[in-house]
């Protein structure tokens, strides 16, 4: 078996008395879309925080394509090709949409020229223009990002994650707060993306998860409850109890019918 693109080994994180991430072992293969689901407070975002370097684990290690990235600073991890979006939309509110993409594209390149005009970097400009097309935000390129509609901001975030040529994309609830149309739009984009980039997605919307993911990992109370294909997860009793066992959650049954 080839080295998984993302692997953690006994990852643990405590906040005072609370164990947010409890001895988590995951191994995600390249080329498959992975989803992490679980009730609120299950530790999913904390896991992302540790992987992206925003928080240091109390125990355990994180491996990216075989390299140990535990304890590296966020910008170092980012430069290795792991990009992520945040649960609460997080862009650069006072910069224009185009500038948001521009600086994201440039940031990974290392040296930041202090005197040369940014507009003179044709290669970056091309990339930005191309990406604006791809995510459909060409019309608002000059608008200040903080004034964007929510859906557009979420798209911008995904755009920012893309423009820097990521190897691994961590998406934290990307469709949270979107309208049905926006959701469909975004899911399409993610599906297209998945052909070029490895993606791990945290999501609550079961339709989206079961439609997108090749593998699902279920977390609860900091630990991994179960992992497997959507079918396996759907059939798993423990998962049903902990998470899916609610009458209003018809999404799973629908998928069963389609499968």
Partner 1 sequence: MTRTAVDRGMFAAFAVLMLAVPWIVPELLGAFWVSVIAEILIWSLLAASVNLLFGYVGLLSFGQALYFGFGMYGVGIGIAHLGLSFWPAFGLGIVASMAMALVAGIFAVRLTWHYFAIITVVFSLIFYFLFLTIKPVTGGDDGINFTLPPTFRFGSTEIGLADSTFQYFFILFFVAACFWLMHRVIRSPLGKALMAIRDNDVRASLIGLNIYLLRLVAFVMAGFLAGVSGALFALFGRYSSASYMFYHVSGEAVVWAIVGGTGTLFGPFVGTGIFILVREVISTQWHHHLLIVGVIAILIVMFAPRGFVGLWHNLMDRLFSPRGSP
Q: Under the rule (CB under 8 A), what is the footprint of partner 1?
A: 52-54, 73-75, 78-79, 83-84, 86, 90-95, 99, 102-104, 106-108, 112-119, 121, 140, 143, 147, 160, 164
The single residue listed with the structure tokens 């080839």 is 2
| Cβ proximity to partner 1, 81 vs 234, nearer residue | 81
4 φψ region: left (φ > 0), alpha (ψ -120 to 50), beta (else): beta
| Cβ proximity to partner 1, 110 vs 247, nearer residue | 110
| Cβ proximity to partner 1, 11 vs 140, nearer residue | 140
Q: How far is the CB of 111 from partner 1 (least distance, A)?
A: 8
Q: What CA–CA distance (Å, rounded) separates 33 from 145?
A: 29
| Cβ proximity to partner 1, 96 vs 221, nearer residue | 96
The single residue listed with the structure tokens 């990521």 is 166
Q: What CA–CA distance (Å, rounded) separates 185 from 59?
A: 39
- Cβ neighbours for 96, distance < 8 A, ≥ 6 positions apart: 141, 142, 143, 144, 145
Q: How far is the CB of 134 from partner 1 (least distance, A)?
A: 18
The single residue listed with the structure tokens 């304890």 is 71
How many Cα atoms occupy the beta-carbon half-sphere of 236 within 13 Å?
17
Q: How far is the CB of 141 from partner 1 (least distance, A)?
A: 12
How many Cα atoms occupy the beta-carbon half-sphere of 5 within 13 Å?
19
| Cβ proximity to partner 1, 103 vs 251, nearer residue | 103
Q: How far is the CB of 109 from partner 1 (least distance, A)?
A: 8
Q: How far is the CB of 125 from partner 1 (least distance, A)?
A: 12
């Amino acid at each position: 078996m080839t080295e998984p693109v993302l692997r953690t080994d006994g990852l643990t994180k405590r906040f005072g008395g609370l164990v947010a991430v409890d001895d988590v072992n995951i191994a995600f293969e390249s080329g498959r879309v992975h989803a992490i689901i679980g009730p609120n407070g299950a530790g999913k975002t904390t896991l992302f925080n540790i992987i992206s370097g925003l928080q240091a684990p109390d125990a355990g290690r994180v491996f990216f394509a075989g390299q140990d990235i535990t304890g590296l600073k966020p910008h170092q991890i980012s430069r290795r090709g792991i990009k992520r979006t945040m649960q609460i939309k997080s862009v650069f509110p006072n910069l224009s949409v185009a500038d948001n993409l521009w600086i994201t594209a440039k940031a990974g390149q290392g040296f930041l020229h202090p005197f040369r005009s940014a507009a003179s970097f044709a290669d970056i400009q091309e990339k930005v223009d191309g990406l604006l097309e791809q995510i459909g935000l060409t019309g608002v390129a000059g608008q200040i990002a903080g004034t964007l509609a929510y859906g557009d901001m979420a798209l911008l975030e995904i755009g920012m994650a893309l423009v820097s040529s990521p190897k691994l994309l961590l998406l934290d609830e990307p469709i949270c707060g979107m309208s049905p149309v926006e959701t469909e739009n975004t899911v399409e984009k993610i599906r297209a993306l998945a052909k070029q980039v490895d993606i791990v997605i945290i999501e609550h919307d079961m339709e989206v998860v079961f439609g997108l993911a090749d593998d699902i990992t279920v977390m609860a109370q900091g630990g991994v409850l179960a992992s497997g294909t959507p079918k396996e997860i759907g059939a798993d009793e423990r998962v049903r109890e902990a998470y899916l066992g609610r009458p209003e959650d018809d999404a799973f049954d629908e998928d069963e019918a389609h499968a």
